Amino acid sequence: MGNVFVLDHPLIQHKLTYIRKKETGTKEFRELVDEVAALMAFEITRDLPLEEITIETPVTTATTKTLSGKKIGLVPILRAGLGMVDGILQLIPAARVGHVGLYRDPETLKPVEYYIKLPSDIEERDLIVIDPMLATGGSANDAIHSLKKRGATSIKLMCLVGAPEGVEVIKKEHPDVDIYLAALDEKLNEKGYIEPGLGDAGDRLYGTK
Ligand SMILES: O=P(O)(O)OC[C@H]1O[C@H](OP(=O)(O)OP(=O)(O)O)[C@H](O)[C@@H]1O
Ligand SMILES: O=c1cc[nH]c(=O)[nH]1
Ligand SMILES: [Mg+2]
């Protein structure tokens, strides 16, 4: 069964509070989402394999560590997932980025896929699916199924805020996928929004409401 990790680093929790506040405007919201994404990436990449190499410092020869070349792929779910990409790329600039376009039908709450473009070698990469919100879990579930259908073998899911309902869907459908959250919230409301949540992540990032 997949694990669920709530990343309780004080900086992540502090910034998340400001992301949640309704008076936080678009500019600040976007900056904070990027910052929290970077901090989460720092925690998620804790187990990346290292190898020893020998280098010359200006003083002497040293045996030191370097990343062992594990290939990483970021897969934001459009639109809102895009808001987390740049922060992560600052830490992992060599990561390739695939895109999955999905929107949630406001009536049925079912995801509708409208775009997909992935690195050609996804089967060799550790993929991190990125979306600020894991609500019913429909969007993340569909995105992960799409990736697996195209050959992905190693997938983590990274969201700012998750609802228990969405977490259960991913655990059941994708027991091989670990979930990383900044917060596990209480519930979904009757419109499928996370409570207490942060509202509509895409609209708040891009000022479309
Ligand atoms: O877990 P779910 O119930 O599927 O809900 C979560 C999805 O809803 C939001 O996207 P939205 O449909 O608003 O699209 P957008 O990012 O383009 O605004 C969010 O960014 C997730 O992708
Ligand atoms: O609370 C929610 C649920 C789905 N999508 C959002 O952007 N916010
Ligand atoms: Mg939206």
Mutate to test the pocket of ligand 2, among 102, 198, 206 (most ligand atoms within 8 A of CB): 198
Place of tokens 């009536």: 107
Radius of gyration of the chain (CA): 18
Q: What is the pLDDT of residue 69?
A: 80
Q: Is 105 a known active-site residue?
A: no
pLDDT in tens, 73-102: 999 999 999 999 999 999 999 999 999 999
DSSP 3-state of 64: strand
Residue 1, pLDDT above cutoff 80: no
Q: 197: which DSSP letter?
A: S
pLDDT in tens, 105-158: 988 999 999 999 999 999 999 999 999 999 999 999 999 999 999 999 999 999
> What single-letter amino acid sits at 20?
R
Q: Is 108 a known active-site residue?
A: yes
Strands (DSSP E) contained in the chain are 4-6, 50-56, 61-67, 72-78, 96-97, 99-104, 111-117, 126-130, 133-134, 154-162, 178-184, 187-188, 194-195
* Contact residues of ligand 1, CB 6 A cut-off: 77-80, 102-104, 109, 111, 131-140, 166, 192, 200-202
Tell me the pTM.
0.96
Query: How many angstroms does the Cα of residue 12 sit away from the middle of ligand 3?
Result: 22
**Which residue's C-alpha comes closest to atom 10 of ligand 1?**
103
Residue 162, pLDDT above cutoff 80: yes
Average pLDDT, rounded, for the chain: 96
> Are the C-beta atoms of residues 115 and 101 closer than 8 Å to each other?
yes
Dist CA 14 CA 180 (whole Å): 17
**Which residue's C-alpha comes closest to atom 5 of ligand 2?**
200
Query: How many angstroms does the Cα of residue 137 sit away from the middle of ligand 3?
Result: 14
Q: What is the pLDDT of residue 106?
A: 86
DSSP 3-state of 46: helix
> Are the C-beta atoms of residues 152 and 96 closer than 8 Å to each other?
no
Residues around ion ligand 3, judged by CB within 5 A, are 200, 202
Q: Is 200 a known active-site residue?
A: yes
Q: Which atom of ligand 2 approaches the CA of 132 most closely?
A: 7
ipTM above 0.90, yes or no: yes
Q: Is 203 a known active-site residue?
A: yes
Q: Are strands 187-188 and 194-195 parallel, antiparallel or unpaired?
A: antiparallel
Dist CA 164 CA 166 (whole Å): 6
List all residues 6 or more positions away from 26 whose beta carbon is below 8 Å from its beta carbon. 204, 205, 206, 207
Binding-site sequence positions: 79, 104, 131-139, 194, 199-201
